[in-house]
A and B are shown apart, each in its own frame.
Chain A
């Protein structure tokens, strides 16, 4: 009870923004290795199917993204090849990387 009261006093009726990120990376082009385009084809706007009907094992590793009522998942074993998925979840264009 005391902890909760202290928290309420500290933050009032609102909470600090937990998504704020202030750091900017000191990019160093001399430490960057760039290769020719096309090494790994990104996965862009592919046709979808229900995850439940695609025959994955229960323990197959997945990345998933939920926006609103929509959830889209990508098998880690596939993202380890493509590295980038360009897609739309709900009405939001997203890029998923691995």
Chain B
């Protein structure tokens, strides 16, 4: 597994549905071409880089990453493509990721990257990249710990970064609800990781929905965030800060 970055976008531009396929590499992650206009797009940001739709941007949709059990717990009626319609490729087991840290990328990838990315972090450092406005921050997941709840502020927006149950499942939400800034601590709901806000003691599930307390019925707003490896994030967002107990400077 190389790119390790999942994203989703609405696939309609100027009223027309577009369909895509992978076509190559830029900044260490893939670019895709739409079948309708042959425009080349970033799978990382949804920007049209080259072709008739150059300058357009696909609308971001927050993609969740988690286990099948997590998906079913939160969405019991979730559907999936039938097995016979998909092909599968084995993933590198998590235990083998350590052996990859700092390792070379495939030879086609290297010339697509800007220089110097490994000076700050090993290229394959796994983390959550968060973008708000013009500000970007990378949260190395190994440094967060399981069930971590991290309050922060990015691009003028108070956010909470939350790692749930497994290192591959992380999300970021705005902590502002109806003009009120909340702070959160980890709790459980129906046997699964959840958040409790300190101000009202309402309980919020993994989908960002408040299910009990005075805030019941409210919904946290997702911040644009993706689980990714350092090299792709740093290549796209060279000004990114890296979260630690106190954020550093680029």
Contacts and interface: CB of A to CB of B under 8 A. Distances in A.
A54 to B, nearest CB: 6
- In which size bucket is the chain B interface? 35 or more
Contacts of B179: 7-8, 11-15
A33 B182 CA distance: 45
B215 interface: no
Nearest to B113: A31
B112 A61 contact: no
A13 B26 CA distance: 42
Interface string A42-67: 11101111111011111111111111
18 contacts: A18-B224, A21-B133, A22-B133, A25-B42, A25-B47, A27-B49, A31-B27, A33-B111, A37-B23, A60-B67, A61-B67, A66-B75, A74-B81, A80-B91, A84-B22, A92-B61, A93-B10, A98-B5
Given A32-B112, A78-B86, A83-B30, 13 more contacts: A3-B181, A20-B132, A20-B155, A23-B131, A23-B136, A31-B27, A34-B31, A44-B19, A56-B80, A65-B64, A67-B61, A72-B79, A83-B22
Interface of B: 1, 3, 5-12, 17-27, 30-33, 40, 42-43, 45, 47, 49-50, 58, 60-61, 63-72, 74-83, 85-91, 108-109, 111-114, 131-134, 136, 155-159, 166, 168, 173-174, 176-183, 199, 207, 221-224, 236-237
